[in-house]
Amino acid sequence: MNTQKITQTKIEQTHIEHQTKEATKGFKVHVGVTVAISGLLAAINMLTVPQFPWFVFPACGMSVGVVIHYFGIRSFRKKSAQL
């Protein structure tokens, strides 16, 4: 019979790894949605007012959210590496 001692550190490490995995999944969805919406806005812009590229402003705003999300994931990875 193989009994493995479960320690608090192992539980915390497993929890952080799970959080990192879920955060990475969420980040990929966030990037996909940002690219899709930016593309849609670019198409609308080019069909309506091609003289002024207004779609750049919401695209940059959404990109700020993606960057913040990325740095959030990095903090999970740093925690995981410390354990």
CA dihedral 51, 57, 62, 67 (to 10 degrees): 110
CA dihedral 78, 80, 82, 83 (to 10 degrees): 170
Residue 20: pLDDT band with limits 50, 70, 90: confident
pLDDT, mean over the chain: 87
The pTM score is 0.76
Residue entry with tokens 């479960």: 6
In the chain, where the domains are located: 24-82
The CA distance from 16 to 78, in Å, is: 10
pLDDT digits (tens, 9 = 90+) for 26-77: 999 999 999 999 999 999 999 999 999 999 999 999 999 999 999 988 876 7
The CA distance from 17 to 81, in Å, is: 10
